[in-house]
């Protein structure tokens, strides 16, 4: 999920089906498909939606600047944290992982929600969440005042944060993706980084599309 700025006219469109997702049938006209739109100005949301995901139980989750909502196919229900827990606030990223966990990236940190249990993981603004092909959970984060870095692996063989050292130089990150070779790609305001277990390479804005910066570190 990518971080989004405020949307002047926020809307989300869903197409619900009881069968698994497949290609659209060319014999159907677009008007024959079900289509519903919910917008801020009509009261569907208190503020602009930033992120959307679906968990294994079928629920669709929407994160906005003010709250987290769940859609059950009929309506939106505001999600409330367990008794005694503070409100999680603005939601910037969401992920429904393969084990059924809902991962919630907020302005203050990363939370996981499963079996009615809410757990807090790393702190600071979580801009993107990714589950890699080995089922490790990664996050890109920003507004990190200490030296722990902008890229974190929160679930997997070696949970840790990285990127703030003098070699990697990634104190904050905005987006994440994984390619078919298993490389992790991390985007920030001034560079694109490719990372794997053997090391990383950095691509800077003025050089993207020309040539990559050479790999400067191998672990």
- d(CA 138, CA 196) in angstroms, rounded, equals 13
Res 82: pLDDT: 82
Six-digit token pair at 12? 């989300």
**Looking at the domain assignment, is residue 1 inside a domain?**
no
Range 111-135 average pLDDT: 94
Predicted pLDDT at 68: 93
Q: Which residue would you say has higher pLDDT here, 27 or 219?
A: 27
Asked whether residue 6 is domain-assigned, the answer is no
C-alpha to C-alpha distance for 173 and 111, rounded to whole angstroms: 18
Q: What is the pLDDT of residue 202?
A: 85
35 is a domain residue: yes
pTM passes above 0.85: no
How many domains does the chain contain in total?
1
- 113 burial level (CB within 10 Å; 0-12, 13-18, 19+): buried
Mean pLDDT of the chain: 78
* Residue 216 falls inside a structural domain: no
For residue 40, tell me if it sits in a domain.
yes
**38 falls within a domain:** yes
Residue 2 lies in a domain: no
Q: What is the CATH number of the domain that holds 187?
A: 2.130.10.10
More confident residue, 203 or 53: 53
Of the candidates 69, 31, 27, 64, the one whose C-alpha atom is nearest the C-alpha of residue 49 is 64
Could you report the per-residue pLDDT of 184-218, keeping only the tens digit for each?
Answer: 999 987 788 999 888 888 887 655 554 433 333 33
Residue 5 lies in a domain: no
The burial of 190, by beta-carbon neighbours within 10 Å (0-12 exposed, 13-18 middle, 19 or more buried), is given as exposed
- Domain of 179 in residue numbering reads as 11-207
pLDDT tens by residue, 140-176: 999 888 778 899 999 887 888 988 777 788 888 999 9
């Amino acid at each position: 999920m990518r971080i989004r700025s405020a949307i002047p006219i926020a809307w989300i469109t869903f197409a619900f089906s009881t069968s698994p997702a497949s290609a659209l049938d060319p014999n159907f006209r677009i008007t024959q498909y079900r289509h519903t739109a919910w917008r801020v100005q009509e009261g569907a949301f208190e503020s602009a939606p930033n992120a959307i995901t679906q968990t294994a139980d079928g629920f669709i989750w929407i994160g906005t600047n003010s709250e987290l909502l769940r859609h059950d196919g009929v309506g939106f229900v505001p999600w409330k944290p367990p008794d005694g827990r503070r409100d999680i606030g603005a939601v910037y990223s969401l992920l429904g992982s393969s084990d059924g966990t809902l991962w919630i990236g907020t302005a203050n940190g990363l939370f996981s929600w499963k079996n009615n249990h809410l757990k807090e993981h790393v702190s600071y603004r979580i801009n993107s969440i990714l589950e890699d092909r080995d089922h490790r959970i990664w996050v890109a984060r920003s507004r990190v005042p200490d030296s722990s870095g902008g890229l974190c692996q929160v679930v997997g063989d070696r949970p840790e944060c990285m990127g703030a050292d003098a070699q990697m130089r990634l104190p904050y990150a905005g987006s994440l993706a994984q390619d078919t070779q298993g490389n992790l790609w991390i985007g920030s305001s001034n560079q694109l980084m490719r990372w794997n277990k053997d090391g990383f390479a950095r691509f800077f804005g003025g050089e993207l599309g020309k040539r990559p910066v050479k790999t400067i570190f191998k672990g």
